[in-house]
Amino acid sequence: MKGIAREYLYWPNIGKDIENWVNNCAECQGAAKMPVKEELCPWPAPARNWQRLHIDFAGPCKDGKLYLIVIDSFSKWPEVFGNMTNSAKDTIKSLDWLFTHFGYPETLVSDNGSPFQSIEFKNYCIEKGIKQLFSPPYHPQSNCQAERFVDYFKRMMIKNCKNKDWLQEVLLNYRASPNEALGGKTPAEEFLNRKLRLKWDALRPKNIALERNTSLSSKKEIVRNKMKNWFDNHHGAKVHDYKIGDHVLFTNCRQNKIVWLEGEIVSKKGVLYTIFAPKLKTVITRHSNQLRKRLHMETKLYNNCETNAKKIEPNYELRNRTVYVRKQLNCVKCSDTRLYKEGATPKKKKKIWSENSEDKMQSCSDGSINSEGLINSEGSNISEG
């Protein structure tokens, strides 16, 4: 756009003025690309087993079943419940069985699915002293512990679906496999403080003892920082610092289509923002990756009996030159956008519209403009509307 404009026009700072005009276009902002990803913000490392659990549903899968996935954040120990429905009653029943074996966790992280948002499930968590945390809508990355295992679980299902007892086989192998996030230890070693005995242990002499890693915590921290640095470098991530009161555009998903809606930030907690959405008439939560700075210009509305007039105020500084700004009058009857002179009667408007454009924008010798909605060289508006 700037290249085309420079071939026909020129004024000082023409490139900057065009950029400002485009940046303030609502349609252009709505069609822009997704913003650069926020730097990875890992979950705080829990201090012990079963302190924070991540849960999610997988499915309906290839076998037509729905599975409930539970992952311990500290040890990566997985639990899977099959033949599930997405009702709060069935979810509570499965978790009750699990908690009778290992006790109640301090924190339970989930998405915003209906079972976890139900009053029944919230009352259950309050009764058991469990704190609920929710990931932002349409941002599964925030519940990465569960989402990562869901991906692994589905791939293992495809590979082992011919085996009748594939689920228990997959869980056993996962619990007994060294995990890089655990410094090379297995989930069983972290959770049960021992290695699981597999059928392959029959090949190992009984007098061989395995050394325990005493610097596990430091290795975990090194691995966590390594993963964060890789993510930030791979995605070109940067910090997005939005403030309370900022006007933003946020993603909203309806019928599998993502659209950008306007909103205002009312509170902030880490990379999660609470936003008031005037169009939705509610308050929603979004991750910083789902936000974009909203640029807008103030507008004044002019109404009369026949037209709805909207005058666009320029947001750039006038530098001793005459700038012509049209007042857009949207005719109620014909929906045409026309330029009218101040004080023109309805009978004269048609005649004025057919006049040559130079007559409509003729400048006076003192720098003022005869047409309505035009601005003189000092930047003041000639007609008040």
Q: What is the per-residue pLDDT across 237-291, written as a single tens digit (0 to 9) for each?
A: 777 778 888 888 888 887 778 888 889 989 988 888 899 988 888 888 888 888 8
CB neighbourhood size of 43 (10 A) = 16
Q: Phi and psi (nearest 5°) for 207?
A: -90, 5
CB neighbourhood size of 160 (10 A) = 15
Whether pLDDT at 111 is above 70: yes
Instruction: Say how many CA atoms lie within 13 Å of 73 toward its Cβ.
Output: 22
**202-225: average pLDDT:** 64
The pTM for the full model equals 0.50
**pLDDT greater at residue 121 or residue 320:** 121
- Strand, coil or helix: what is 99? helix
| pLDDT at residue 323, as a whole number | 41
- CATH code of the domain made up of 25-38+239-293: 2.30.30.140
Whether pLDDT at 24 is above 90: no
Reported confidence tier of residue 118, pLDDT bands at 50, 70, 90? very high
Reported confidence tier of residue 297, pLDDT bands at 50, 70, 90? low
Average pLDDT of the chain is 73
- Return the exposure string of 48-85: e unless at least 16 CB atoms fall within 10 Å of the residue's CB, then b: ebbebbbbbbbbebeeeebbbbbbbbbbbbbbbbeebe
| pLDDT at residue 127, as a whole number | 94
Q: Tell me which range, 270-284, 315-329, 342-356, is most confidently predicted by mean pLDDT.
A: 270-284
Query: 236 Cβ partners below 8 Å, 6+ apart?
Result: 36, 37
Q: Which of 56-65, 195-204, 214-223, 375-384 has the lowest mean pLDDT?
A: 375-384
Query: 196 Cβ partners below 8 Å, 6+ apart?
Result: 172, 175, 176, 186, 188
Reported confidence tier of residue 37, pLDDT bands at 50, 70, 90? low
Q: Which DSSP symbol is given to 233?
A: H
**Domain 52-205+213-233 class, CATH top level:** alpha beta
First to last CA, the chain: 31
Reported confidence tier of residue 42, pLDDT bands at 50, 70, 90? low
Q: Which DSSP symbol is given to 212?
A: P
Whether pLDDT at 144 is above 60: yes
What are the boundaries of each domain within the chain? 25-38+239-293, 52-205+213-233, 297-385
> Cα(90)–Cα(100) distance, rounded to whole angstroms?
16
Whether pLDDT at 130 is above 80: yes
State how beta strands 291-293 and 282-287 pair.
Answer: unpaired
CB contact at 8 A, 51 and 149? no
Q: Calculate Rg over the CA atoms of the chain.
A: 31
Distance set, CA 257 to CA 251, 275, 278, 288, 380 (Å): 10, 20, 20, 19, 44
